[in-house]
Amino acid sequence: MKSTNTLYKRFAIAGIGLFIIIVLFSTGCVESKKIAMKSGVQLWAENCQRCHNAPSPGSFSASQWETIGMHMQSRALLTENEKNKIVAFLQSSGR
Ligand code: HEC
């Protein structure tokens, strides 16, 4: 009977481990949804002044913002979605 007992214990430990992993992953998803809900202006205010003054929307033209967006996406480590939102905000409020 001793060997079956340790087998049950192993299953119980594996189950608890799996449960913890699932909880960690599901809260992780909630967090990233919060980030995904951020608007372009919010992302611009939070990210674009980390290294220099955040450039105002009027500083560049719509096509210049495309190029700047690509360049600063890699500098600021933004996702494609975040970059698109920031560029859309800068273009819509700029010249
Ligand atoms: C990790 C630091 C960092 C972050 C965050 C960052 N930048 Fe920059 N940015 C730089 C550096 C360094 C330069 C100058 C050198 C270069 O062009 O790579 C620069 C240059 C610029 C320039 C050119 C300035 C000029 O007058 O020619 C613009 C415009 C700009 N960034 C916009 C942005 C926007 C918009 C964001 C937010 C999405 C952003 N940056 C986030 C580092 C950063």
pLDDT tens for 5-41 read 788 888 888 888 787 777 766 766 565 777 789 999 9
> Which distant-in-sequence residues (6+ apart) come within 8 Å of 45 by Cβ?
54
The per-residue pLDDT for range 56-69, each reduced to its tens digit, is 999 999 999 999 99
Question: In the numeric block, which tokens belong to residue 5?
Answer: 């007992």
The closest alpha carbon to 55, from 79, 75, 47, belongs to 47
Question: In the numeric block, which tokens belong to residue 73?
Answer: 């996406």
What's the confidence (pLDDT) of residue 29? 58
Decide if 26 contacts 60 (C-beta within 8 A). Answer: no
The per-residue pLDDT for range 69-91, each reduced to its tens digit, is 999 999 999 999 999 999 999 99
What's the confidence (pLDDT) of residue 15? 83
Q: Spell out which residues line ligand 1, taking CB within 6 angstroms.
A: 47-48, 50-52, 55, 68, 72, 75-76, 86
